[in-house]
Structure 1
């Protein structure tokens, strides 16, 4: 695979480098009239031509979104290089170039933030907001410390929805779709002209489908009498999804100088449930890698998994399951242009949401009494059952965000152009008492949440996060073709906990105690040199930094209060070249980067010997190095259009020792110093064998070596004036690791993804009918790992879609 990836990357580079040479003087009869349209980006607070802006970015227009079947954020990963999205049910680990988020909790902030109409959205929950009535999506790769700040060490995504059109009359569209899994989807929008200075737009989105899963639940209390140990429909939702969303947009332009925009979004996203199987269920034989012996029940069965299922959508469960997100967002944007052309901009945001999620945490059926495997700690003789029996997870979380940003933006035509900004944001997580249970036994339903506290771990209280920043960028044209840019952002971040843990009857409060407050300040910067070689070629080089603040660890009973984890920083060196060739028919972009990543946040076993089986978050004490190459092509030749993208990446973690909390007993002996490795405790004892793991040289999580995407379409013109357009889109991601420990025996390996999608479109006047399909090869793949669960990505889906434009 490495050889194949390198050869393909070299081929893309060769096409980019050499196309100008062989296209210098094409015969007149071969020249086509169709050319690529100009693509713009807005992430630097002004509208800029992507081909002459020193950033690595992929831009999807409204047409691209429809043609590539992009409906939700997961679909973006197959449209751009080096982008990986792992959906673990209640949230998403979004990573670009291996940097972003690898820990599934609220305290670890994301490293890739999504903006909607100028406002940073929820950083953890509510990430599946659908894509409808969209004007464009911009995916930025690499740290965006100046304009985005704390949540953009890996990159950022800017989503722009359609604005109302003043003087545009009544116009819009309606789209209807039906498909397999009883899929039914309707969306639409209408522009309403109110006056010569005011217009409104209303858009909506509805979607439903039945579950992908076949769930074996033989518990008679789950509405399955007479079907013991056979597939049946449980009494809870097995994963039937129902989504509804709406958006009201208002635009007021009383003068040429003043523009006021207001947008209000409301979303109801009921995914029914996120069923999942244990990662060992799809293994027929035990893997030789990982250093963990096969369990006795496997060896007694001739080395074959007695619970083997070759289908990731066939799972067992006997616990309540649901998955429901409800949230709203209001955005008020005001632009005022002074007589000298300087723009004063204000963007105010308010977001409020509630998420509810429950899952069968061990994926076992009613009456299951056997753990898949156990590990004996040599130091203590204690047997640790990694696959627990009959445990559930419940949560109910409210989140509220207030945000405000002010910008002063100079005109684009000035030789010295600049942007100044101020921003502030408050984010409050509320965990109501009796609603958030990390572990609740459901064996024969003998334990009820909130009743027998000695068998449960529960959390309640509030977590407060606040950030403030001042930022700016200045650009100076040394010559009309050479520009130097300098940017910087000073950030202040604070977080505090007012929470209480009840861990199996032992109550620990973090309120008013040491370790319940964490603060960090940072200055991020970017220095860039941009060179417009000629009308068709542009080169850039820069150094940029990014920053993500630290957070708080919950207490371990009342005995231990782990230290807060500090911020992480990244320094990126990047150079790139963008060119337009063949008389505007072919456009390319290539870049190479080198990252030094310091202090990135990881989850490991508590380093002290006392509680190695309890997970805690720490900063990697060494520098992780990553570097890579990316290339994108876009072409149009008459009725043919095509796109391609490739990303190659290498990563290596610096010297770092850690305890894998999954592979040791709850209590042990010895210490595991992150920089020195195994150390004796006060009794002179060292950690047990294979407990203190050297992670040096390992890859970061969710960081595949190779990513590749390609799309092609051709339009046939009929005599009637109608058109027929077949199109195909393919995305590939090489295998990746879900944990720094890269232990295949603990389910850390995520297999490669190869997804093929397509459409066959017929356009007649203002009607568009399309046969569509996603994951046409029906690859059953792991979309994320929530240990020990393997969350599947969607299987093959297909159907018919009809759109009326008016």
Structure 2
């Protein structure tokens, strides 16, 4: 069900596909994530006055805990302590802590891209290309995105296609978010945190480990945040002014009746009320926080997730792992579609989404010259567009000027996957992995398009085999080299009819990634570096253009020729004495193949063949254009220094992140607002550690840069302004 609207004032008949959820990127507004149980001990202790080495970092990209420095994957791994230091507490802030990542956030939906591959069309049919896993379960693919990071153990950002283990939604990469587990015989421990800041921000957060018996433990974590609006909204609108009221709770239970069996259950509930996601036209000359509106405004996400993970280790060392997931949520959104008080265009929807998933793994012991993993996966994801809730009104109240939609969109995914590893020689290892996937999607919806009733009952299926072949060479205990070829796949989907019959589905995307990397340690273990170079052949990018034969309407199609994307990344972590430094750099080049297309935002009637054109005033040759959301340069750096004062410590910390300009569409039309300018964010913290208390003064976007966080439906969504405050945490 398409959720994208083009220039309604130019031509109402261009409303073929439905408007996406629009929202604001909330940068650094909720309480920072609390340290994990391990990190809490570090936080409570006085920092060492001597030389300190870097902590070991592990990654679970291939279903095993493996050291990041000897894993053939480009990844950024952040502990709960790292998230707190960097002020990362929602997904869009990850772009300021990892290279080559961009998150263009309009709240209840995001465009998350890694190395220029992810998601550019915002609808339920176009699945995400960068999937987020929460405690081992793939989450809602594109919506319910503002789930906060609280009581987190680690976040792993995996760059490049994860076709073997991440599956169909990981063509650009994957994000693995793991919350803290209960600890059996771990006693009562946890933390309580309070935060106050500008814009009336008040946040509370807490977690506690509960030892129930020698075989059973529980952990409860809660998060709450209230914040006033960033915006000054004028006009005869009704509803919220975009104040924030978020509530989240998580319960975890760990049962280990015998040594070789563990059962972990977690359930979360989130009530995320952002009030609204205000926006105005893309080229408005005013301050983006001063807008007008005359339509009802609303933005509310309510959802829950339950995860059951069972691990059983057989006598021969083989591990049987089963992960079951159930997720259900409702997203409700209302907005002023023209972004001003001058028009009468409005949009509203209320959509339920329910996901059932099951994964089963068999994992061999880690030792020996030959190891293996086998797995199977099943998922059913159903969207339910509630009657009378999905409406575009131009204006509302008259069937002749309304577009309504109701019905269901079920999707399924079935897969079998595996990997084998051969230790060819002491320093040389070969990994071969693959995944076969079958995906289906169906529409059973009814549309009333400005008085014209339409039925949409269609389906499509897609199959694919993706995989990875990697060769690793351990030069010595300080240098690790790798090279691999990996592929990824994202299924296609269905177009909604617009009175011209049932349009053809769009095809699946595919990518072939070639990569080499070098990971090293220097200065006796005080400096760790990672360097990689990659080249992607990206096929069938899914994009909305004007119908080739009748560009009065829009349709989602695929680019007919390869897009080439290549780049270079590096990162470094340094700990020396009481100094710490962390830096990331990504450089990227992207280039479309031959492709002619009509911009659906521009009135046009002449046909435009995607392969042959011809080029005209409305048929554009896009060959050589950059991929969407693929900035040429991203980098970030953070620096801290610990000062020991008696039994206390004071740690000042500075961070800076840069993301160069990027294009929001392939048409690269600056007059229509396609150019997202650079983001340059400066942040700072000062921590005072005193016994079991940690007091933090924090600030984000200290230069108060006015930047546009996302462009969608000819509207612009402002990034968060300067924020600052104080946070006090008590550990016990």
TM-score between both structures, scaled by the size of structure 1? 0.84
Find the counterpart in structure 1 of residue 427 from structure 2: 481
Return the alpha-carbon distance in structure 2 between the equivalents of residues 613 and 353 of structure 1: 36
Deviation digits for residues 208-241 of structure 1, max 9, x if unmatched?
Answer: 1011001120x3xx4xxxxxxxxxxxx4101011
Deviation digits for residues 291-344 of structure 1, max 9, x if unmatched?
Answer: xxxxxxxxxxxxxxxxxx2x1111111110100000000000000001111100
CA contact (8 A) 2:409 2:444 kept: yes
Return the alpha-carbon distance in structure 1 between the equivalents of residues 182 and 568 of structure 2: 40
Return the alpha-carbon distance in structure 2 between the equivalents of residues 613 and 532 of structure 1: 58
Return the alpha-carbon distance in structure 1 between the equivalents of residues 553 and 224 of structure 2: 42
Matched, 1:83 2:101: yes
CA contact (8 A) 1:579 1:587 kept: yes
Deviation digits for residues 653-686 of structure 1, max 9, x if unmatched?
Answer: 0000111010115xx2x321111113xxxxxxxx
Return the alpha-carbon distance in structure 1 between the equivalents of residues 112 and 552 of structure 2: 27
Deviation digits for residues 90-114 of structure 1, max 9, x if unmatched?
Answer: 2111000000001111110000000
Out of 51, 54, 58, the residue aligned to residue 76 of structure 2 is: 58
Out of 707, 712, 715, the residue aligned to residue 781 of structure 1 is: 707
SS at match of 2:487: strand
CA contact (8 A) 2:252 2:267 kept: yes
Return the alpha-carbon distance in structure 1 between the equivalents of residues 429 and 117 of structure 2: 29
Find the counterpart in structure 2 of residue 441 from structure 1: 394
Out of 300, 305, 310, the residue aligned to residue 324 of structure 1 is: 300
SS at match of 2:276: coil
Matched, 1:154 2:152: no
Find the counterpart in structure 1 of residue 502 from structure 2: 561
Q: CA deviation at 1:608?
A: 1.4
Return the alpha-carbon distance in structure 2 between the equivalents of residues 473 and 563 of structure 1: 36
SS at match of 1:75: helix
Find the counterpart in structure 2 of residue 372 from structure 1: none
Matched, 1:602 2:556: no
Q: CA deviation at 1:787?
A: 2.4
Find the counterpart in structure 1 of residue 40 from structure 2: none
User: Pairwise mapping of residues 53-452 of structure 1 onto structure 2 (< 5 A)?
Assistant: 53-217=71-235, 219=236, 222=237, 235-282=238-285, 309=286, 311-365=287-341, 368=342, 389-437=343-391, 439-442=392-395, 447-448=396-397, 452=398
Find the counterpart in structure 2 of residue 674 from structure 1: 610
Find the counterpart in structure 2 of residue 15 from structure 1: none
Find the counterpart in structure 2 of residue 629 from structure 1: 568
Return the alpha-carbon distance in structure 2 between the equivalents of residues 402 and 639 of structure 1: 48
Q: CA deviation at 1:433?
A: 1.4
Matched, 1:618 2:560: no
SS at match of 2:501: coil
Q: CA deviation at 1:432?
A: 1.1
Out of 666, 674, 685, the residue aligned to residue 759 of structure 1 is: 685
CA contact (8 A) 1:251 1:259 kept: yes
Find the counterpart in structure 1 of residue 641 from structure 2: 714
CA contact (8 A) 2:74 2:159 kept: yes
Find the counterpart in structure 1 of residue 730 from structure 2: 804
Matched, 1:574 2:515: yes
Deviation digits for residues 109-149 of structure 1, max 9, x if unmatched?
Answer: 00000000100000021011100000000000000000011
CA contact (8 A) 1:653 1:698 kept: yes
CA contact (8 A) 1:613 1:662 kept: no
Q: CA deviation at 1:390?
A: 2.2
User: Pairwise mapping of residues 684-703 of structure 1 onto structure 2 (< 5 A)?
Assistant: 689-703=616-630
Matched, 1:542 2:484: yes
CA contact (8 A) 1:731 1:756 kept: yes
The structure where strand makes up a greater share of residues is 2
Give the superposed CA RMSD: 1.1
CA contact (8 A) 1:477 1:483 kept: yes
Radius of gyration: which is bigger?
A: 1
CA contact (8 A) 1:192 1:201 kept: yes
SS at match of 2:107: coil
Return the alpha-carbon distance in structure 2 between the equivalents of residues 180 and 216 of structure 1: 22
Find the counterpart in structure 2 of residue 683 from structure 1: none
CA contact (8 A) 2:137 2:307 kept: yes
User: Pairwise mapping of residues 722-733 of structure 1 onto structure 2 (< 5 A)?
Assistant: 722-733=648-659
Stretches of structure 2 lacking an aligned partner (at least 5 in a row): 1-48
Q: CA deviation at 1:88?
A: 1.6
Return the alpha-carbon distance in structure 2 between the equivalents of residues 613 and 270 of structure 1: 37
User: Pairwise mapping of residues 508-523 of structure 1 onto structure 2 (< 5 A)?
Assistant: 508-511=454-457, 516-523=458-465
Find the counterpart in structure 2 of residue 658 from structure 1: 597
Q: CA deviation at 1:362?
A: 0.7
Q: CA deviation at 1:32?
A: 5.9
Whose relative contact order is higher, 1 or 2, with alpha carbons under 8 Å and at least 6 apart? 2
Find the counterpart in structure 2 of residue 507 from structure 1: 453
SS at match of 1:671: coil
CA contact (8 A) 1:163 1:201 kept: yes
Stretches of structure 1 lacking an aligned partner (at least 5 in a row): 1-30, 223-234, 283-308, 369-388, 679-686
Deviation digits for residues 703-744 of structure 1, max 9, x if unmatched?
Answer: 10000000010000002x100000011110000011010000
Find the counterpart in structure 1 of residue 409 from structure 2: 463
Find the counterpart in structure 1 of residue 41 from structure 2: none
Deviation digits for residues 570-627 of structure 1, max 9, x if unmatched?
Answer: 0000000000110010000000000000111111111112xx1322100111000010
Alignment coverage as a number of residue pairs: 684
CA contact (8 A) 1:89 1:791 kept: no
Return the alpha-carbon distance in structure 2 between the equivalents of residues 752 and 312 of structure 1: 16
Return the alpha-carbon distance in structure 1 between the equivalents of residues 196 and 595 of structure 2: 51
CA contact (8 A) 1:359 1:392 kept: yes
Return the alpha-carbon distance in structure 2 between the equivalents of residues 560 and 605 of structure 1: 16
Return the alpha-carbon distance in structure 2 between the equivalents of residues 239 and 747 of structure 1: 24
Find the counterpart in structure 2 of residue 586 from structure 1: 527
Deviation digits for residues 405-442 of structure 1, max 9, x if unmatched?
Answer: 000001111221111000000000000111001x2134
Return the alpha-carbon distance in structure 2 between the equivalents of residues 464 and 616 of structure 1: 21
Find the counterpart in structure 1 of residue 19 from structure 2: none
Return the alpha-carbon distance in structure 2 between the equivalents of residues 487 and 77 of structure 1: 29
SS at match of 1:741: coil
SS at match of 2:93: helix
SS at match of 1:150: helix
TM-score between both structures, scaled by the size of structure 2? 0.93
